[in-house]
Homo-oligomer: A and B are copies of this chain.
Amino acid sequence: MKKILLATTMLAGTAGIAAAEVAVTGYAEIGIIRSEAGFAGSTNAQFHQDVEVTFTMSGETDGGLSFGAAIDLDETNVAAGDDSGTTVFVSGAFGKLTMGDTDGALDWAVADAGALTSMGDDHTTHLFYFAGNGLDGSHDNQVVRYEYSFGDFGVALSYEQAGNNATGTLADDNVAIGATYSMDMGGTALKFGLGYQAGSDAPTAAAVYTNGDAIGASVSAELAGGFAVSLGYIKYDFDATNVAGGAATMADFAHTGLGVTYTTGALSLHANVGHFNPDVGASDSTYGLAVNYDLGGGAVVMAGYGSDVGAAAGDQSQYSIGLGLSF
């Protein structure tokens, strides 16, 4: 649901009159969240309210380049060499360049398993949820992505600096390439995605990085009758030693995600499952569920469930139910 604040604006510049806009939109939640005990951050059923304001900026140069930016109310004081949650883009006939809190080219190409919304993002934050994000965010999450589309094809390149390009950084920058192809097959809209990313990662910011790569693919389909399905796969391979020459801090694994969504009238139902399969050790799966009921006017009843959200042994589920309100 997209809201446009129509504000008449005037620019008095050297190049004549042109239009630029700041759209102010809001979002609020009210309801109850709960997560099972047994891990840090777990919470018994408690009340939850949240309010957010987003500023979305758009403009166009005299030569026809489009540009824009977005920032939320809580994304103040954007740090140098960090994304801080903001994005800035410039687009034109050459394609589109985006910088900041945005997907790398692999993530851009490979479809997420999730759909719909829930207050606690329960259905998209379970342990093995398939977000198709590759190595994105292993450094400062300030990603630069270039994308270009022609007909039913789209391609993208992305770059995330390791250690802000500081002298002596041994970890590889995250570099990715992705491609998508959309087609219609007898009323079913199909979209294929393929991506590759080379770079580095570490389990925690304090750990030594290990270089590696990720290759992934997805197919998503919107079927007649309100069904949508998404299937994605990414294989992660890391070096046998970390960048300092010690034992690798990251292990190889494959990640698979399947999501199914059904919409009928105001009601939407969603389920997704993520499967984690390490080259060494036991594999595991977690799943998420979401129900949305659109009341119109920007109000949606939302329920969400994640089967396991805590890293502790056994499953620690989480759920939420409430209203999501868009303004």
Chain A residues with a Cβ under 8 A of chain B: 1-16, 18-22, 24-26, 28-30, 33, 37, 43-53, 55, 57-63, 65, 67-71, 73-78, 80-81, 83, 86-90, 97, 99-100, 142, 144, 161, 164-167, 265-266, 294-299, 323, 325-327
- In the complex, the answer to whether B88 meets A325 with C-beta atoms within 8 Å is yes
- In the complex, the answer to whether B1 meets A12 with C-beta atoms within 8 Å is yes
Give the one of A89, A164, A297 with max B CB within 10 A: A297
Contact A77/B74 with A296-B62, A296-B63 known, Cβ cut-off 8 Å: yes
Pick 11 A–B contacts, CB within 8 A, sort by A.
A1-B11, A1-B12, A13-B298, A15-B294, A26-B71, A43-B80, A44-B167, A47-B161, A48-B80, A58-B327, A62-B296
Of the candidates B44, B60, B78, B266, which one forms a contact with A297 in the assembled complex, judged by CB atoms under 8 Å apart? B60
Main secondary structure of the interface of A (DSSP, over half): strand
- In the complex, the answer to whether B13 meets A294 with C-beta atoms within 8 Å is yes
- In the complex, the answer to whether A2 meets B7 with C-beta atoms within 8 Å is no
Contact A33/B3 with A13-B294, A43-B165, A99-B47 known, Cβ cut-off 8 Å: no
- In the complex, the answer to whether B80 meets A33 with C-beta atoms within 8 Å is yes
Of the candidates B18, B51, B161, which one forms a contact with A69 in the assembled complex, judged by CB atoms under 8 Å apart? B51
Q: Give, as a whole number of angstroms, the nearest-CB distance from A153 to chain B.
A: 26
- In the complex, the answer to whether A3 meets B14 with C-beta atoms within 8 Å is no
- In the complex, the answer to whether A69 meets B142 with C-beta atoms within 8 Å is no
Alpha-carbon distance A271/B6, docked complex (angstroms):
40
Alpha-carbon distance A3/B167, docked complex (angstroms):
41
- When distances are taken between beta carbons in the complex, the residues of chain B under 8 Å from A166 are 43-44
- In the complex, the answer to whether A298 meets B11 with C-beta atoms within 8 Å is yes
- When distances are taken between beta carbons in the complex, the residues of chain B under 8 Å from A43 are 80-81, 164-166
Q: Which residue of B lies closest to A63 (CB)?
A: B295
- When distances are taken between beta carbons in the complex, the residues of chain B under 8 Å from A71 are 26, 51-53, 73
- In the complex, the answer to whether B86 meets A51 with C-beta atoms within 8 Å is yes
Q: Which residue of B lies closest to A86 (CB)?
A: B51
- In the complex, the answer to whether B44 meets A90 with C-beta atoms within 8 Å is no
Q: Which residue of B lies closest to A19 (CB)?
A: B297
- In the complex, the answer to whether A297 meets B18 with C-beta atoms within 8 Å is yes
Q: Give, as a whole number of angstroms, the nearest-CB distance from A118 to chain B.
A: 14
Alpha-carbon distance A150/B12, docked complex (angstroms):
27
- When distances are taken between beta carbons in the complex, the residues of chain B under 8 Å from A52 are 71, 78
Q: Which residue of B lies closest to A31 (CB)?
A: B99
Alpha-carbon distance A69/B299, docked complex (angstroms):
12
Of the candidates B8, B26, B68, which one forms a contact with A6 in the assembled complex, judged by CB atoms under 8 Å apart? B8
Q: Give, as a whole number of angstroms, the nearest-CB distance from A96 to chain B.
A: 12
- When distances are taken between beta carbons in the complex, the residues of chain B under 8 Å from A68 are 28, 325
Alpha-carbon distance A251/B198, docked complex (angstroms):
55
- In the complex, the answer to whether B3 meets A10 with C-beta atoms within 8 Å is yes
- In the complex, the answer to whether B37 meets A26 with C-beta atoms within 8 Å is no
Alpha-carbon distance A45/B167, docked complex (angstroms):
10
